[in-house]
């Protein structure tokens, strides 16, 4: 069963705008990770936030985690056409060493 | 070297063929994974190897047979596949955490796009 559920399913913005994607999950977690996948290729790890962290930054990425609401958001600031990709959140249940991926958000950034 | 390589990039096979997918990493990771991904869907876990031992099999049909010959290599042997097995097959690797079973960052290969006719 899916652990992470992203919304929106698809997002279309112009270059320079910010993009926000959300992820909700159901069970307790150790950490939550975000990955990017360019069309038909492998996934690239973007950022990991631990369950005792509330916010984390990496370059133009900002991730928040609200464990009371079982939700996370990924913000990409000043988007570029090269950010066009699918974005997945991934979670693992406490005590398990594997990840379960959410359904993903397809982001299209137009020049 | 933070790269996971997969061969072949593309594979077309008939339902009676036998083929193998290969995955290699030289990051010293002792956990390796096979995922199956259909179009516009998230990756679905198939198998996990930890220290070259199969630790998780997510109820995958026996026509998929994984093998981990050493700590750097992971194979997926395919036999008598069905058209619905057509998908992108992704290999990933990560460090292993035994003490608390927390999830580690996974490093993915580019995938093998498989078409079964």
Task: State the nearest Cα–Cα gap between A79 and chain B, in angstroms.
Answer: 22
Q: Which of B43, B102, B113 sits opposite A101 (nearest CB)?
A: B43
- Residues 6 or more apart whose CB falls under 8 angstroms from that of B112 comprise B6, B7, B8, B9, B10, B11, B21, B88, B89
Contact B106 A48 (CB under 8 A): no
Give the confidence band of A27 by pLDDT, cuts at 50, 70, 90. Answer: confident
The stretch A22-48 carries a mean pLDDT of 91
The residues that bridge with A99 in the sheet, in sequence order, are none
Phi-psi group of B98: left, alpha or beta (phi > 0 → left; psi -120 to 50 → alpha; rest → beta): alpha
Beta strands in A4-101 (DSSP E): 5-7, 10-14, 19-24, 29-37, 43-50, 55-58, 61-66, 71-76, 85-93, 100-101
* More confident site: A2 or B115: B115
- Can you tell me whether residue A31 is helix, strand or coil? strand
What is the 8-class DSSP label of residue A96? Answer: -
Q: Write out the two tokens for A99.
A: 């990840």
B102 and chain A: CB distance < 8 Å anywhere?
yes
Q: Does pLDDT of A2 surpass 50?
A: no
Site from A53, A56, A91, A99 to mutate, B interface, most B CB atoms within 10 angstroms: A99
For residue range B10-26, what is the model confidence (pLDDT) as tens digits?
999 999 999 999 999 99
- Residues 6 or more apart whose CB falls under 8 angstroms from that of B109 comprise A42, B4, B5, B6, B23, B25, B90, B91, B92
Q: Does pLDDT of A4 surpass 60?
A: yes
A93 and chain B: CB distance < 8 Å anywhere?
no
- pLDDT, position A1: 38
Give chain A's mean pLDDT: 90
- pLDDT, position A94: 58
- pLDDT, position A6: 78
Task: State the nearest Cα–Cα gap between B95 and chain A, in angstroms.
Answer: 10
**Cα–Cα dist B31/B92, whole Å:** 8
- pLDDT, position B102: 61
Average pLDDT per consecutive 10 residues, chain B (117 residues; last block may be shorter): 90 94 95 94 93 90 96 96 96 79 82 97
- Residues 6 or more apart whose CB falls under 8 angstroms from that of A59 comprise none
């Amino acid at each position: 069963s899916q652990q992470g559920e992203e919304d929106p399913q698809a997002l279309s913005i112009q270059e320079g705008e910010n993009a926000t994607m959300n992820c909700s999950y159901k069970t307790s977690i150790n950490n939550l990770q975000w990955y990017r996948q360019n069309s038909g290729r492998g996934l690239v790890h973007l950022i990991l936030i631990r369950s005792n962290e509330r916010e984390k930054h990496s370059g133009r990425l900002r991730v928040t985690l609200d464990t009371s609401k079982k939700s996370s958001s990924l913000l990409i600031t000043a988007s570029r056409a090269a950010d066009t990709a699918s974005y997945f959140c991934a979670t693992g249940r406490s005590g398990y060493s594997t990840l379960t991926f959410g359904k993903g958000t397809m982001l299209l950034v137009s020049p | 070297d933070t790269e996971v390589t997969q061969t072949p990039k593309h594979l077309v096979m008939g339902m009676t063929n036998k083929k193998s997918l290969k995955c290699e990493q030289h990051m010293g990771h002792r956990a390796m994974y096979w995922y199956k991904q259909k179009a516009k869907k998230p990756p679905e876990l198939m198998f996990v190897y930890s220290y070259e031992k199969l630790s998780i099999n997510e109820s995958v049909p026996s026509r998929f047979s994984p093998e981990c010959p050493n700590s750097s290599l992971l194979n997926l042997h395919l036999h008598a596949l069905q058209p619905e097995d057509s998908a992108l097959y992704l290999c990933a690797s990560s460090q292993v955490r035994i003490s608390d079973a927390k999830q580690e960052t996974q490093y993915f290969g580019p995938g093998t796009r498989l078409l079964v006719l």
